[in-house]
Amino acid sequence: MSKALFITGASSGIGAATARAAVAQGWHVGLFARSEGKLKALVDELGEQAVALPGDVTDLKNLEAAMADFAGRTGGIDAVFANAGMGLSVAGTDAGDPEEWERMIRVNVLGVLWTVKAAMPHLKQRAGHLLLTGSAAGRRHIEGSVYGASKWFVHGYGGNLSEEMKSFGSLSLNALNFARDWRYLRRYFVKLTI
């Protein structure tokens, strides 16, 4: 039986690269992002193992519906990758744009929370795996970095969530820093299909 991976922020960058790596190892992938055109192009590239699920990570109901749709098509979800994120056009607090901060917090913080909330029932059914996109910026202090603070949240929440998930049995979680952990992610898909 093929494994199923749901990816937020799947239309480009780390999300699209992860989808390619997963499909190469036989996984089915649910590709969730706002960019319908990019999702369609990626599905055309990846073939029948990929499903485009256009939506907005800042909308919990949107995520719940997309995961239910994907689980219905694949028989369940084995892994969820909370990857959607955004940076800022201007660094620092003094020069920063509060409206842009709010958009980023909705994606980088609330988007992670909503993804995990929507994923939990599916992952419990399969003793699944949860991946969160962190950053080296969330592991060290960077002068005035509001973006870095959003990634501190991801790493802190990942640790707290790991403790919570222990009560669910064999679910597992990783908060990844892709500058360091990209090789792990590529091996993860090989490891789970052997």
Please give the tally of structural domains in the chain. Answer: 1
Q: Report the pLDDT value the prediction gives residue 51, as an integer from 0 to 100.
A: 98
The residue behind tokens 């239910």 is 68
SS3 179: helix
Range of the domain at 17: 4-193
User: pLDDT-based confidence at 128, cuts 50/70/90?
Assistant: confident
- 46, 19 contact by CB (below 8 A): yes
User: pLDDT-based confidence at 66, cuts 50/70/90?
Assistant: very high
Q: Is the pLDDT score of 183 beyond 80?
A: no
Question: Mean pLDDT score of the chain, rounded to an integer?
Answer: 85
User: Is the whole model's pTM more than 0.85, yes or no?
Assistant: yes
Which residues are catalytic, by number? 147
Distance from C-alpha of 133 to C-alpha of 86, rounded to nearest angstrom: 11
Comparing 80 with 193, the larger pLDDT belongs to 80
User: For the domain that residue 66 is a member of, what is the CATH number?
Assistant: 3.40.50.720
Tens of pLDDT, residues 139-160 = 677 677 887 888 888 888 888 8
